[in-house]
């Protein structure tokens, strides 16, 4: 037996909304509100629509002060920063962009920004490596798709700033600190004295990232970091790791991810069952453990990561 449908599919109209339907829905909600029950709303108005469809139409289109299209460079940069930081959490990203809907941002990312980002990477890599553009595009697209859920942006080490095999992170909660300490102890167990840890405790204004930014290169500007903090704090808590100046991202918000990483790298062994979605991390750990240079790690990072810099907006879509 399957899941019960949310509405009577047979009597529900699907597809594009007519101006009449829009007008009915808008007028009703402006006068009475949603009544806290989207499912019952269409019957009240006399619309042959699913409640979910009404909700979506209102939130994405009819609601006041909605902006469509015409994304500014600032918005582009913020979306990129947030995507790199928190991934495809469109509702959270949309909350930082007044008047924008999660659906709009998602569409904009999928159809334009992603290409913009890849376009920049391709240009950079072609210039450095002289690889055939077509082959390069294919490689990058495949790598991008495979790694999208675990994005990692490489940052060349600042001269004199990052000690060998250092990890830096910021934390918010005790649970996180516990998980991170566990991760840290595993890294120490694996890498011994070659690994050091720089831990920034919880601060109301979340200075952890700023401290970590000491490990970051000059093209990630302090304003980018500040934007990131301002836009994600307080709703998000984030953990930031960097190894040899290579920042690992997406260890945010969930308490279990550091635990997963623990399981991946514990005792230096890779647990295949825990590897799904964490391939980049294990590769990185492997490279670090083989004493690869920062340069090599960054080169690897090039082909399997998103690279964001504040100059991205100068590239054409």
Beta strand pairing status for 152-153 and 196-200? Answer: unpaired
Q: Report in angstroms how near the CB of residue 64 gets to DNA at its nearest.
A: 16
With CB under 7 A as the contact rule, the residue among 44, 67, 112, 276 that binds DNA is: 112
Q: Report in angstroms how near the CB of residue 314 gets to DNA at its nearest.
A: 18
Q: Report in angstroms how near the CB of residue 263 gets to DNA at its nearest.
A: 19
Q: Report in angstroms how near the CB of residue 201 gets to DNA at its nearest.
A: 26
Q: Which helix (H) or strand (E) is 169 found in, with range?
A: strand 166-170
Joined together, the tokens standing for residue 301 give 């990072």
Q: 62 to 101, contacts with DNA by CB under 7 A?
A: 68-69, 88-92
Alpha helices (H) in 202-278, listed in sequence order: 208-212, 222-232, 256-265
With CB under 7 A as the contact rule, the residue among 17, 169, 216, 241 that binds DNA is: 17
Is residue 205 at the binding interface for DNA, with CB under 7 A as the rule? no
Q: 232 to 271, contacts with DNA by CB under 7 A?
A: none
101/147 Cα distance (integer angstroms):
25
With CB under 7 A as the contact rule, the residue among 108, 153, 191, 308 that binds DNA is: 108
Which of these, 30, 302, 262, lies nearest to 154 by C-alpha position?
302
**66/292 with CB nearer DNA:** 66
* Tokens 């930031």, located at residue: 240
With CB under 7 A as the contact rule, the residue among 29, 45, 48, 61 that binds DNA is: 61
Q: Report in angstroms how near the CB of residue 119 gets to DNA at its nearest.
A: 11
**106/200 with CB nearer DNA:** 106
| Cβ contact 308:78 at 8 Å | no
Count of residues making up the chain: 317
**76/288 with CB nearer DNA:** 76
φ, ψ of residue 5 to 5 degrees: the values are -65, 150
Is residue 111 at the binding interface for DNA, with CB under 7 A as the rule? yes
Joined together, the tokens standing for residue 37 give 């029950």
121/40 Cα distance (integer angstroms):
49
Which of these, 236, 209, 237, 235, lies nearest to 224 by C-alpha position?
209
Beta strand pairing status for 166-170 and 196-200? Answer: parallel
With CB under 7 A as the contact rule, the residue among 24, 25, 28, 53 that binds DNA is: 53
Is residue 103 at the binding interface for DNA, with CB under 7 A as the rule? yes
With CB under 7 A as the contact rule, the residue among 72, 110, 185, 214 that binds DNA is: 110
Beta strand pairing status for 152-153 and 241-243? Answer: unpaired
Is residue 33 at the binding interface for DNA, with CB under 7 A as the rule? no
Which residues contribute to the site for DNA (CB under 7 A)?
Answer: 3-4, 6, 13-17, 34, 36-40, 50-53, 55-57, 60-61, 68-69, 88-92, 102-104, 106-108, 110-112, 317
């Amino acid at each position: 037996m399957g899941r019960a449908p949310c509405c009577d599919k047979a009597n529900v109209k699907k597809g594009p909304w007519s101006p009449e339907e829009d007008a009915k829905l808008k007028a009703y909600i402006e006068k009475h509100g949603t009544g806290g029950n989207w499912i019952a709303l269409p019957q009240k108005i006399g619309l042959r629509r699913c409640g979910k469809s009404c909700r979506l139409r209102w939130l994405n289109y009819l609601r006041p002060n909605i902006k469509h299209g015409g994304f500014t460079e600032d918005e582009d940069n913020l979306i990129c920063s947030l995507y790199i930081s928190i991934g495809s959490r469109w509702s959270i990203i949309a909350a930082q962009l007044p008047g924008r809907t999660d659906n709009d941002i998602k569409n904009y990312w999928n159809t334009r920004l992603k290409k913009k980002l890849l376009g920049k990477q391709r240009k950079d890599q072609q210039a450095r490596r002289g690889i055939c553009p077509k082959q390069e595009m294919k490689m990058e697209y495949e790598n991008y798709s495979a790694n999208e859920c675990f994005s990692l942006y490489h940052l060349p080490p600042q001269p004199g700033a990052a000690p060998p095999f250092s990890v830096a992170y910021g934390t918010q909660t005790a649970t996180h600190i516990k998980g991170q300490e566990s991760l840290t102890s595993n890294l120490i167990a694996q890498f011994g004295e070659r690994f050091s840890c720089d831990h920034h405790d919880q601060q109301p204004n979340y200075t952890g990232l700023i401290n970590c930014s000491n490990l970051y290169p000059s093209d990630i500007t302090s304003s980018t970091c500040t934007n990131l903090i301002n836009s994600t704090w307080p709703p998000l808590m984030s953990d930031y790791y960097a190894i040899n100046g290579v920042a690992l991202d997406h260890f945010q918000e969930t308490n279990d991810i550091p635990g997963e990483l623990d399981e991946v790298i514990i005792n230096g062994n890779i647990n295949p069952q825990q590897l799904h979605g964490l391939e980049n991390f294990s590769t990185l750990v492997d490279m670090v453990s083989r004493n690869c240079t920062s340069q090599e790690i960054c080169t690897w990072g090039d082909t399997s990561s998103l690279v964001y810099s504040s100059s991205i907006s100068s590239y054409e879509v």
